[in-house]
Structure 1
Protein backbone atom coordinates (compact mmCIF):
# COMPACT_ATOMS: atom_id res chain seq x y z
CA UNK A 1 0.00 0.00 0.00
CA UNK A 2 2.86 2.39 0.80
CA UNK A 3 4.05 2.14 -2.82
CA UNK A 4 0.62 3.12 -4.08
CA UNK A 5 0.60 6.10 -1.70
CA UNK A 6 4.07 7.25 -2.79
CA UNK A 7 3.29 6.96 -6.51
CA UNK A 8 0.04 8.86 -6.07
CA UNK A 9 1.64 11.66 -4.00
CA UNK A 10 4.53 12.01 -6.48
CA UNK A 11 2.00 12.72 -9.23
CA UNK A 12 -0.07 15.06 -7.06
CA UNK A 13 3.02 16.91 -5.82
CA UNK A 14 4.04 17.67 -9.42
CA UNK A 15 0.48 18.82 -10.19
CA UNK A 16 0.52 21.19 -7.21
CA UNK A 17 3.92 22.60 -8.23
CA UNK A 18 2.66 23.29 -11.76
CA UNK A 19 -0.82 24.49 -10.81
CA UNK A 20 -1.32 28.16 -11.63
CA UNK A 21 -4.40 28.37 -9.38
CA UNK A 22 -2.33 27.18 -6.40
CA UNK A 23 0.44 29.70 -7.10
CA UNK A 24 -2.06 32.55 -7.51
CA UNK A 25 -3.58 31.63 -4.11
CA UNK A 26 -0.18 31.90 -2.37
CA UNK A 27 -0.03 28.20 -1.53
CA UNK A 28 3.19 26.19 -1.47
CA UNK A 29 4.22 22.65 -0.59
CA UNK A 30 7.57 20.90 -0.20
CA UNK A 31 8.95 17.49 0.80
CA UNK A 32 10.36 16.91 4.28
CA UNK A 33 13.58 14.83 4.23
CA UNK A 34 12.91 13.90 0.57
CA UNK A 35 9.95 11.77 1.67
CA UNK A 36 6.69 11.78 -0.26
CA UNK A 37 4.89 10.64 2.90
CA UNK A 38 5.82 13.73 4.89
CA UNK A 39 5.21 17.20 3.46
CA UNK A 40 5.24 20.78 4.64
CA UNK A 41 2.76 23.26 3.23
CA UNK A 42 2.13 26.99 3.49
CA UNK A 43 -1.14 28.83 2.99
CA UNK A 44 -1.40 32.58 2.55
CA UNK A 45 -4.20 34.22 4.54
CA UNK A 46 -7.03 35.10 2.13
CA UNK A 47 -7.64 38.81 1.36
CA UNK A 48 -10.49 40.39 3.29
CA UNK A 49 -10.12 38.01 6.25
CA UNK A 50 -8.37 38.54 9.61
CA UNK A 51 -5.69 36.16 8.28
CA UNK A 52 -4.74 38.43 5.37
CA UNK A 53 -1.00 38.99 5.10
CA UNK A 54 -0.17 35.93 7.20
CA UNK A 55 1.71 32.82 6.11
CA UNK A 56 0.49 29.65 7.83
CA UNK A 57 2.59 26.50 7.90
CA UNK A 58 1.05 23.03 7.70
CA UNK A 59 2.34 19.60 8.65
CA UNK A 60 1.06 17.01 6.15
CA UNK A 61 1.54 13.29 6.82
CA UNK A 62 0.46 10.80 4.18
CA UNK A 63 -0.74 7.40 5.50
CA UNK A 64 0.32 4.18 3.78
CA UNK A 65 -3.37 3.69 2.93
CA UNK A 66 -3.53 6.93 0.87
CA UNK A 67 -5.56 7.77 -1.24
CA UNK A 68 -8.17 5.54 0.40
CA UNK A 69 -7.68 7.45 3.66
CA UNK A 70 -7.09 11.20 4.02
CA UNK A 71 -3.76 12.81 4.83
CA UNK A 72 -3.21 13.87 8.45
CA UNK A 73 -2.89 17.65 8.43
CA UNK A 74 -2.41 20.19 11.20
CA UNK A 75 -1.40 23.84 11.42
CA UNK A 76 2.05 24.34 12.93
CA UNK A 77 1.58 28.12 12.85
CA UNK A 78 -0.69 29.13 15.71
CA UNK A 79 -4.00 30.57 14.52
CA UNK A 80 -7.23 31.87 16.11
CA UNK A 81 -10.01 30.09 14.19
CA UNK A 82 -13.11 28.15 15.32
CA UNK A 83 -12.22 25.05 13.29
CA UNK A 84 -8.52 24.88 14.19
CA UNK A 85 -7.18 24.20 17.68
CA UNK A 86 -5.39 27.27 19.03
CA UNK A 87 -3.18 24.88 21.04
CA UNK A 88 -2.40 21.86 18.82
CA UNK A 89 -3.26 23.06 15.30
CA UNK A 90 -5.69 20.14 14.83
CA UNK A 91 -8.28 20.83 12.12
CA UNK A 92 -12.00 20.09 11.98
CA UNK A 93 -12.76 19.75 8.25
CA UNK A 94 -15.09 17.11 6.83
CA UNK A 95 -12.84 16.11 3.90
CA UNK A 96 -10.06 15.27 6.36
CA UNK A 97 -12.44 12.93 8.15
CA UNK A 98 -15.56 11.10 7.00
CA UNK A 99 -16.14 13.04 3.77
CA UNK A 100 -12.80 12.10 2.23
CA UNK A 101 -12.94 10.39 -1.18
CA UNK A 102 -10.10 8.63 -3.00
CA UNK A 103 -10.55 11.00 -5.96
CA UNK A 104 -9.51 13.96 -3.79
CA UNK A 105 -5.94 15.23 -3.97
CA UNK A 106 -3.37 17.38 -2.18
CA UNK A 107 -4.59 20.28 -4.30
CA UNK A 108 -8.15 19.72 -2.99
CA UNK A 109 -6.88 19.70 0.60
CA UNK A 110 -4.77 22.85 0.30
CA UNK A 111 -7.49 24.87 -1.45
CA UNK A 112 -10.13 23.61 1.03
CA UNK A 113 -8.01 24.69 3.98
CA UNK A 114 -7.55 28.15 2.52
CA UNK A 115 -11.31 28.32 1.90
CA UNK A 116 -11.87 27.37 5.56
CA UNK A 117 -9.95 30.49 6.59
CA UNK A 118 -12.44 32.54 4.56
CA UNK A 119 -15.54 30.75 5.85
CA UNK A 120 -15.32 29.41 9.43
CA UNK A 121 -17.95 26.91 10.60
CA UNK A 122 -18.52 27.83 14.27
CA UNK A 123 -21.30 25.25 14.68
CA UNK A 124 -18.82 22.44 14.04
CA UNK A 125 -15.84 23.72 16.02
CA UNK A 126 -12.44 22.28 16.80
CA UNK A 127 -11.82 25.03 19.36
CA UNK A 128 -14.99 25.66 21.36
CA UNK A 129 -13.68 28.82 23.07
CA UNK A 130 -12.82 30.47 19.75
CA UNK A 131 -16.18 29.43 18.28
CA UNK A 132 -17.99 30.92 21.27
CA UNK A 133 -16.18 34.22 20.79
CA UNK A 134 -16.89 34.14 17.04
CA UNK A 135 -20.62 33.73 17.69
CA UNK A 136 -21.01 36.01 20.72
CA UNK A 137 -18.47 38.77 20.16
CA UNK A 138 -17.51 38.96 16.49
CA UNK A 139 -15.59 42.25 16.79
CA UNK A 140 -13.42 40.75 19.52
CA UNK A 141 -12.91 37.60 17.45
CA UNK A 142 -11.72 39.58 14.41
CA UNK A 143 -9.40 41.73 16.54
CA UNK A 144 -7.91 38.65 18.20
CA UNK A 145 -7.55 36.70 14.95
CA UNK A 146 -5.79 39.68 13.31
CA UNK A 147 -3.46 39.98 16.30
CA UNK A 148 -2.57 36.28 16.24
CA UNK A 149 -1.94 36.55 12.48
CA UNK A 150 0.42 39.46 13.17
CA UNK A 151 2.26 37.70 16.04
CA UNK A 152 2.48 34.15 14.70
CA UNK A 153 2.06 34.39 10.91
CA UNK A 154 4.05 37.55 10.20
CA UNK A 155 1.28 39.88 8.98
CA UNK A 156 1.98 43.61 9.19
CA UNK A 157 -0.02 45.54 11.79
CA UNK A 158 -1.14 48.18 9.29
CA UNK A 159 -3.89 50.37 10.71
CA UNK A 160 -4.20 48.02 13.73
CA UNK A 161 -0.84 49.04 15.24
CA UNK A 162 -2.36 50.81 18.26
CA UNK A 163 -4.69 47.88 19.01
CA UNK A 164 -1.82 45.40 18.71
CA UNK A 165 0.29 47.56 21.00
CA UNK A 166 -2.49 47.52 23.60
CA UNK A 167 -2.67 43.71 23.39
CA UNK A 168 1.14 43.45 23.62
CA UNK A 169 1.11 45.57 26.78
CA UNK A 170 -1.41 43.23 28.44
CA UNK A 171 0.70 40.20 27.48
CA UNK A 172 3.72 41.99 28.99
CA UNK A 173 1.81 42.58 32.25
CA UNK A 174 1.16 38.85 32.56
CA UNK A 175 4.79 38.11 31.68
CA UNK A 176 5.81 40.40 34.55
CA UNK A 177 3.77 38.09 36.81
CA UNK A 178 5.83 35.10 35.64
CA UNK A 179 3.57 33.83 32.83
CA UNK A 180 5.31 33.00 29.55
CA UNK A 181 4.10 34.78 26.41
CA UNK A 182 2.14 31.96 24.68
CA UNK A 183 -0.07 31.01 27.68
CA UNK A 184 -0.48 34.72 28.48
CA UNK A 185 -1.67 35.48 24.97
CA UNK A 186 -4.03 32.48 24.96
CA UNK A 187 -5.58 33.35 28.32
CA UNK A 188 -6.14 36.97 27.32
CA UNK A 189 -7.64 35.90 23.98
CA UNK A 190 -10.07 33.51 25.67
CA UNK A 191 -11.02 36.21 28.22
CA UNK A 192 -11.72 38.84 25.53
CA UNK A 193 -8.58 40.73 26.57
CA UNK A 194 -9.91 41.38 30.07
CA UNK A 195 -6.68 41.35 32.11
CA UNK A 196 -8.30 40.68 35.49
CA UNK A 197 -10.26 37.68 34.10
CA UNK A 198 -7.10 36.33 32.46
CA UNK A 199 -5.22 36.62 35.77
CA UNK A 200 -8.07 34.84 37.54
CA UNK A 201 -8.06 32.03 34.98
CA UNK A 202 -4.28 31.51 35.09
CA UNK A 203 -3.85 31.67 38.85
CA UNK A 204 -7.11 30.03 39.97
Structure 2
Protein backbone atom coordinates (compact mmCIF):
# COMPACT_ATOMS: atom_id res chain seq x y z
CA UNK A 1 0.00 0.00 0.00
CA UNK A 2 1.29 3.43 -0.94
CA UNK A 3 1.24 6.35 1.46
CA UNK A 4 1.66 9.98 0.50
CA UNK A 5 3.12 11.15 3.79
CA UNK A 6 6.06 9.84 5.76
CA UNK A 7 7.15 10.42 9.36
CA UNK A 8 10.86 10.50 10.15
CA UNK A 9 11.93 7.46 12.19
CA UNK A 10 15.02 8.39 14.19
CA UNK A 11 15.54 4.79 15.34
CA UNK A 12 16.53 3.61 11.85
CA UNK A 13 20.14 2.54 11.11
CA UNK A 14 22.32 5.18 9.46
CA UNK A 15 21.55 4.09 5.87
CA UNK A 16 17.84 3.95 6.73
CA UNK A 17 17.97 7.42 8.24
CA UNK A 18 19.56 8.77 5.08
CA UNK A 19 16.82 7.22 2.93
CA UNK A 20 14.13 8.46 5.30
CA UNK A 21 15.60 11.97 5.19
CA UNK A 22 15.87 12.00 1.41
CA UNK A 23 12.31 10.77 0.88
CA UNK A 24 10.96 13.41 3.24
CA UNK A 25 13.03 16.09 1.49
CA UNK A 26 11.51 15.04 -1.83
CA UNK A 27 8.00 15.24 -0.38
CA UNK A 28 8.76 18.66 1.11
CA UNK A 29 9.93 19.90 -2.30
CA UNK A 30 6.39 19.71 -3.60
CA UNK A 31 6.63 16.72 -5.94
CA UNK A 32 3.48 14.62 -6.06
CA UNK A 33 4.84 11.40 -4.63
CA UNK A 34 3.54 8.08 -3.37
CA UNK A 35 5.82 5.94 -1.23
CA UNK A 36 5.47 2.34 -0.11
CA UNK A 37 5.72 1.42 3.56
CA UNK A 38 9.44 0.54 3.54
CA UNK A 39 10.41 3.38 1.16
CA UNK A 40 11.79 0.88 -1.38
CA UNK A 41 9.57 2.20 -4.18
CA UNK A 42 8.36 5.67 -5.03
CA UNK A 43 6.14 6.99 -7.81
CA UNK A 44 6.88 10.63 -8.57
CA UNK A 45 5.19 13.02 -11.03
CA UNK A 46 7.72 14.75 -13.27
CA UNK A 47 6.85 17.74 -15.47
CA UNK A 48 8.75 18.23 -18.70
CA UNK A 49 11.40 20.95 -18.37
CA UNK A 50 10.73 24.37 -19.86
CA UNK A 51 12.29 25.00 -23.24
CA UNK A 52 12.58 21.30 -24.11
CA UNK A 53 10.55 19.17 -26.51
CA UNK A 54 8.99 17.61 -23.41
CA UNK A 55 7.60 20.86 -22.02
CA UNK A 56 3.91 20.49 -21.12
CA UNK A 57 4.05 16.76 -20.47
CA UNK A 58 3.66 15.03 -17.11
CA UNK A 59 5.22 11.62 -16.48
CA UNK A 60 4.97 9.19 -13.60
CA UNK A 61 8.49 8.03 -12.74
CA UNK A 62 9.11 4.98 -10.56
CA UNK A 63 12.19 4.98 -8.33
CA UNK A 64 13.43 1.73 -6.79
CA UNK A 65 15.86 2.24 -3.95
CA UNK A 66 18.77 -0.24 -3.64
CA UNK A 67 19.88 -1.54 -0.25
CA UNK A 68 23.24 0.12 -0.90
CA UNK A 69 21.69 3.60 -1.25
CA UNK A 70 23.18 6.21 -1.37
CA UNK A 71 26.40 4.46 -2.45
CA UNK A 72 24.48 2.90 -5.34
CA UNK A 73 22.19 4.87 -7.64
CA UNK A 74 18.44 4.22 -7.58
CA UNK A 75 16.79 2.41 -10.49
CA UNK A 76 14.65 4.83 -12.48
CA UNK A 77 11.78 3.80 -14.75
CA UNK A 78 9.24 5.94 -16.63
CA UNK A 79 5.81 4.44 -16.00
CA UNK A 80 4.28 6.86 -18.52
CA UNK A 81 5.40 6.21 -22.10
CA UNK A 82 8.08 8.59 -23.37
CA UNK A 83 10.02 8.85 -26.64
CA UNK A 84 13.69 9.38 -25.79
CA UNK A 85 16.94 7.78 -27.06
CA UNK A 86 18.15 7.00 -23.54
CA UNK A 87 14.86 5.59 -22.20
CA UNK A 88 13.51 2.20 -23.27
CA UNK A 89 9.99 2.67 -24.61
CA UNK A 90 8.37 -0.55 -23.41
CA UNK A 91 9.89 -0.87 -19.93
CA UNK A 92 10.58 2.84 -19.35
CA UNK A 93 14.02 2.07 -17.95
CA UNK A 94 16.53 4.93 -17.99
CA UNK A 95 20.00 4.14 -19.35
CA UNK A 96 22.00 3.24 -16.25
CA UNK A 97 25.26 4.27 -17.92
CA UNK A 98 24.00 7.84 -17.92
CA UNK A 99 22.93 7.73 -14.28
CA UNK A 100 26.01 5.89 -13.00
CA UNK A 101 28.32 8.43 -14.62
CA UNK A 102 26.50 11.27 -12.91
CA UNK A 103 25.72 9.64 -9.57
CA UNK A 104 27.47 10.50 -6.31
CA UNK A 105 26.65 9.44 -2.75
CA UNK A 106 26.24 13.13 -1.96
CA UNK A 107 23.24 13.28 -4.33
CA UNK A 108 19.70 12.57 -3.23
CA UNK A 109 16.23 12.11 -4.69
CA UNK A 110 15.69 15.84 -5.14
CA UNK A 111 18.84 15.99 -7.31
CA UNK A 112 17.35 13.29 -9.53
CA UNK A 113 14.14 15.22 -10.16
CA UNK A 114 15.50 18.76 -10.18
CA UNK A 115 18.76 18.17 -12.05
CA UNK A 116 19.41 14.73 -13.54
CA UNK A 117 16.08 13.97 -15.23
CA UNK A 118 15.51 17.55 -16.51
CA UNK A 119 19.01 17.50 -18.03
CA UNK A 120 18.33 14.10 -19.58
CA UNK A 121 15.17 15.42 -21.22
CA UNK A 122 16.83 18.64 -22.37
CA UNK A 123 19.87 16.89 -23.84
CA UNK A 124 19.08 13.44 -25.28
CA UNK A 125 22.17 11.47 -26.33
CA UNK A 126 21.57 9.36 -29.47
CA UNK A 127 25.06 7.84 -29.20
CA UNK A 128 24.32 5.89 -25.98
CA UNK A 129 20.82 4.71 -26.75
CA UNK A 130 18.28 2.28 -25.35
CA UNK A 131 15.67 3.29 -27.91
CA UNK A 132 17.58 2.80 -31.15
CA UNK A 133 14.78 4.04 -33.40
CA UNK A 134 14.43 7.27 -31.46
CA UNK A 135 18.21 7.68 -31.71
CA UNK A 136 18.10 7.06 -35.45
CA UNK A 137 15.43 9.72 -35.94
CA UNK A 138 17.38 12.24 -33.86
CA UNK A 139 20.54 11.58 -35.90
CA UNK A 140 18.55 11.98 -39.09
CA UNK A 141 16.75 15.19 -38.12
CA UNK A 142 16.46 16.91 -34.75
CA UNK A 143 13.43 18.83 -35.99
CA UNK A 144 11.64 15.63 -36.95
CA UNK A 145 12.67 14.01 -33.68
CA UNK A 146 11.15 16.92 -31.75
CA UNK A 147 7.89 16.60 -33.68
CA UNK A 148 7.70 12.89 -32.92
CA UNK A 149 8.45 13.55 -29.24
CA UNK A 150 5.58 16.04 -29.10
CA UNK A 151 3.18 13.61 -30.80
CA UNK A 152 4.10 10.82 -28.39
CA UNK A 153 3.86 13.20 -25.43
CA UNK A 154 0.43 14.43 -26.43
CA UNK A 155 -0.73 10.84 -26.82
CA UNK A 156 0.54 9.54 -23.48
CA UNK A 157 1.73 12.30 -21.16
CA UNK A 158 -0.62 15.24 -21.29
CA UNK A 159 -2.26 16.24 -17.97
CA UNK A 160 -5.59 16.79 -19.74
CA UNK A 161 -6.96 13.95 -21.88
CA UNK A 162 -8.02 15.08 -25.34
CA UNK A 163 -9.26 13.03 -28.31
CA UNK A 164 -6.33 11.38 -30.11
CA UNK A 165 -7.32 12.81 -33.51
CA UNK A 166 -7.33 16.34 -32.11
CA UNK A 167 -3.92 15.80 -30.53
CA UNK A 168 -2.40 14.47 -33.73
CA UNK A 169 -3.70 17.39 -35.77
CA UNK A 170 -2.89 20.11 -33.24
CA UNK A 171 0.15 22.19 -34.17
CA UNK A 172 1.90 19.55 -36.31
CA UNK A 173 3.05 20.71 -39.72
CA UNK A 174 4.34 17.40 -41.10
CA UNK A 175 2.06 15.47 -43.43
CA UNK A 176 -0.03 12.75 -41.79
CA UNK A 177 1.99 9.95 -43.45
CA UNK A 178 5.04 11.18 -41.53
CA UNK A 179 3.45 11.69 -38.14
CA UNK A 180 0.37 9.49 -37.95
CA UNK A 181 -0.06 7.55 -34.75
CA UNK A 182 -0.24 4.26 -36.67
CA UNK A 183 3.19 4.95 -38.19
CA UNK A 184 4.60 5.90 -34.81
CA UNK A 185 3.55 2.55 -33.36
CA UNK A 186 4.47 0.40 -36.39
CA UNK A 187 6.99 -2.32 -35.61
CA UNK A 188 9.18 -2.02 -38.71
CA UNK A 189 12.98 -2.03 -38.69
CA UNK A 190 14.61 1.23 -39.74
CA UNK A 191 18.25 1.82 -40.41
CA UNK A 192 19.77 2.57 -36.98
CA UNK A 193 21.73 5.51 -38.37
CA UNK A 194 18.60 7.05 -39.87
CA UNK A 195 19.69 6.47 -43.49
CA UNK A 196 16.81 4.25 -44.58
CA UNK A 197 13.82 5.30 -46.64
CA UNK A 198 11.62 5.03 -43.56
CA UNK A 199 13.83 7.20 -41.36
CA UNK A 200 10.92 9.57 -40.85
CA UNK A 201 9.02 6.93 -38.84
CA UNK A 202 10.04 7.48 -35.21
CA UNK A 203 9.10 4.22 -33.58
CA UNK A 204 8.90 4.20 -29.81
CA UNK A 205 10.19 0.60 -29.67
CA UNK A 206 13.87 0.11 -28.99
CA UNK A 207 14.61 -2.94 -31.16
Give me the TM-score of the superposition, normalised by structure 2.
0.71
Deviation at 1:189, TM superposition (A): 11
CA gap 1:123/1:171 in 2 versus in 1, 3 angstroms: closer
Deviations 1:81-102 (A, max 9, x none): 1111122211125463254221
| CA-to-aligned-CA distance 1:110-144 (integer Å, 9 cap, x gap) | 22112211111222222222112111122221111
Equivalent residues, number: 177
- Tell me, what secondary structure is at the counterpart of 1:163? coil
* Mean CA deviation greater in 3-12 or 103-112: 3-12
- The alpha-carbon distance between structure 1 residues 148 and 15, as it changes in their structure 2 partners (threshold 3 A), is same
- TM-score, normalised to structure 1, is 0.72
Q: 1:186 to 1:96 in 2, by over 3 A?
A: farther
Which residue of the partner structure matches residue 142 of structure 1? Answer: 146
CA RMSD of aligned residues (A): 3.3
1:163 aligns with 2:166: no
Deviation at 1:166, TM superposition (A): 3.5
Q: Residues 144 and 17 of structure 1: is their aligned pair in 2 closer, same or farther, counting only changes over 3 Å?
A: same
- Structure 1: give runs of 5+ residues left out of the alignment: 175-183, 199-204
In structure 2, the partner of 1:181 is none
Q: Is the 8 A contact 2:54 2:149 kept in 1?
A: yes
2:49 corresponds in structure 1 to 46
CA drift at 1:106: 0.7
> Does residue 90 of the first structure (1) align with residue 93 of the second (2)?
yes
| Corresponding residue for residue 75 of structure 2 | 72
State yes or no: 1:28 paired with 2:32: yes
In structure 1, distance between residues paired with 2:68 and 2:52:
35
